[in-house]
Amino acid sequence: MTVAACLDTAANYDEWRNIAKAMLVDNVPPKEVDWNYQARDSGSLLDTLPTTRSHSAVKVITVPKEFVPLAEKVICHSNPQRFDLLYRLLWRLQSEKKLLEILSDEDVVLAHKMEKSVRRDSHKMKAFVRFKEIPEPDQLSGARRKFWAWFEPDHFIVERVAPFFQRRFTDMDWIIATPKGSAVWDGTALTMSRDPAVKLDTDDATDDLWRTYFANIFNPARLKIKAMQAEMPKKYWKNLPEADLIPDLINTAEARVQAMRERQATMPPVFHERLQAVVKTEKDKPPEAAGSLADLKHQAEQCTRCDLYKNATQTVFGDGPENADIMFVGEQPGDQEDLAGLPFVGPAGKVFDMALDLAGIDRTKVYVTNAVKHFKYIPRGKRRIHQKPNMGEVRACRWWLKKEIEFIKPKLIVALGATALTSLTEKQQRLSDFRGKEFPFGAGQKLFVTVHPSYLLRIPEEDMKHVETEKFINDIRLVKKLAIAS
């Protein structure tokens, strides 16, 4: 025995749900329900429901929360089996609570397939609706303009998609007419009709500009017809103003490419020669000698003494006044320094600043630089992992460091970490042999050695970190004393 379940509308989830609930309460198994819409002549919905069945005692119908959004889409599908499928899922869900998670179940697969098809059709509607303007003979300036569009969807999606157009084309009046219903927006209300509409033949002059754009944005040298049709199937073409250009664009593509190839190279236009002459005089200028620290910095921007420049953003040169008494030398710029073009502005720079602050040293009065002036790293996904510079790189960059020392003539140079120490003393040294002490350096200058502040950031253990940070701050306090003494 079958029970007829008659629906008023093709794709109304609420209507279906009410009937399905009643059926379920009545324990009507899916096989015995004959779902159809439009076939109903009169009477209320509940009239069609069987009354002979035994009600199961106070039945609570529950569905997982994923069911509703899934069913709301599936019900828009044009497949006449959709009501049946949804009822079957609802029925089964009462005993198989996790059914929807079994993505390989046949009913679940079918529902997802239909859902996907509805989603795709909705997406294509958003893409391929083309509005044409309905000209108003004496349009007042500032009055709302009027547009209309004809579209042929596969499924009953107009009601689902219309709010998208309302949110997007808010400042104009429009109608989207389809064989499966229409939507009308007038600036205050979105009105739906479920009746099939009829196509009008109208023209919009702007379509010609769009066709010009479509023809010219196409690159004939990379014909990929299948890729185009996969995304813009032919069934949509008849309502797209640009589509009738496609056959001709395809047919002439090869000849156009051939013509490009065969054409002889032409003489450049006159303005090109003029431009090149300007470029040439600029190139012929002799390189400037480093007369000042600023010149030196400028020259360092072009440095290719080692390969590190290839992967770094920029040279990070020293920063500070030319008459500084203290010069701090770190290892190399890190991620933030590389982007900003300034030394010690990242996390290690914060530790450095804090120590200077506690020791009473004004950062704007000291010169801060690095042994190596380009950031060395390896990319790991969205970050860059710092790499220690090798001896060759340190040696190549020592050239700049020496020049900086020559210009600044600091009384005290502070090496932060082993790389700086190595670069300054020109041989590999153990940091622990030198740390916290003062050594004569160059012509009457002094060298003081401590750790690099990034070392403190890498200590995992909190107590140890605290002890080492205190030690570093004391070192910087010593630096202050030494600077005053000298």
Partner 1 sequence: MKKTLQERLAILSDAAKYDASCASSGTTKRDSSRSGGLGSTEGSGICHAYAPDGRCISLLKILLTNFCIYDCAYCINRSSSNVERARFSVEEVIWLTLEFYRRNYIEGLFLSSGIIRSSDHTMEEMVRIAKELRTTHNFRGYIHLKSIPEASQHLIEEAGLYADRLSINIELPTDSGLAKFAPEKKPGNIRKSMGDLRLQIEAANDPTLQTKRRKKFIPGGQSTQMIVGADAASDSTILQTSSRLYGSYSLRRVYYSAFSPIPDSSKNLPLIKPPLVREHRLYQADWLYRFYGFGIEEITSARPDGMLDLDLDPKLAWALAHRGKFPVNINRAEREMLLRIPGLGTKTVKAILVARKHRSLRLDDLGRLGVSIKKIKAFIVAEGWSPHSLIDSADLRAVFSPKPEQLTLL
Q: What are phi and psi of 437, to 5 degrees?
A: -115, 165
**Between 26 and 133, whose beta carbon lies closer to partner 1?**
133
Q: Regarding beta strands 181-185 and 445-450, do their DSSP bridges make them parallel or antiparallel, or are they unpaired? A: unpaired
CB of 386 to partner 1, least distance (A): 12
CB of 384 to partner 1, least distance (A): 5
**Between 204 and 468, whose beta carbon lies closer to partner 1?**
204
**Between 6 and 108, whose beta carbon lies closer to partner 1?**
108
**Between 81 and 206, whose beta carbon lies closer to partner 1?**
206
CB of 428 to partner 1, least distance (A): 29
CB of 452 to partner 1, least distance (A): 22
CB of 95 to partner 1, least distance (A): 14
**Between 310 and 430, whose beta carbon lies closer to partner 1?**
310
**Between 63 and 250, whose beta carbon lies closer to partner 1?**
250
**Between 39 and 127, whose beta carbon lies closer to partner 1?**
127
CB of 81 to partner 1, least distance (A): 18
**Between 26 and 207, whose beta carbon lies closer to partner 1?**
207
- Range 392-395, long-range pairs (CB < 8 A, 24+ positions): 392/306, 393/306, 393/308, 394/419, 394/422, 394/423
CB of 192 to partner 1, least distance (A): 17
**Between 208 and 406, whose beta carbon lies closer to partner 1?**
208
**Between 70 and 451, whose beta carbon lies closer to partner 1?**
70
Residues 6+ apart with CB under 8 A from 477: 358, 359
CB of 210 to partner 1, least distance (A): 5
CB of 215 to partner 1, least distance (A): 8
CB of 363 to partner 1, least distance (A): 20
SS3 letters across the chain: CCEEEEECCCCCHHHHHHHHHHHHHCCCCHHHEEEEECCCCCCCHHHHCCCCCCCCCCCCCCCCCCHHHHHHHHCCCCCCCHHHHHHHHHHHHCCCCCHHHCCCCHHHHHHHHHHHHHHHHHHHHHHHCCCEECCCCCCCCCCCCEEEEECCCCCCCHHHHHHHHHHHCCCCEEEEEECCEEEEECCCCEEEECCCCCCCCCCCCHHHHHHHHHHHHCCHHHCCHHHHHHHCCHHHHHHCCCHHHHHHHHHHHHHHHHHHHHCCCCCCCHHHHHHHHHHHHHHCCCCCCCCCHHHHHHHHCCCCCCHHHHCCCCCCCCECCCCCCEEEEECCCCHHHHHHCCCCCCHHHHHHHHHHHHHCCCHHHCEEEECCCCCCEEEECCEEEECCCCHHHHHHHHHHHHHHHHHHCCCEEEEECHHHHHHHHCCCCCHHHHCCCEEEECCCEEEEEECCHHHHHHCCCHHHHHHHHHHHHHHHHHHHHHHHHC
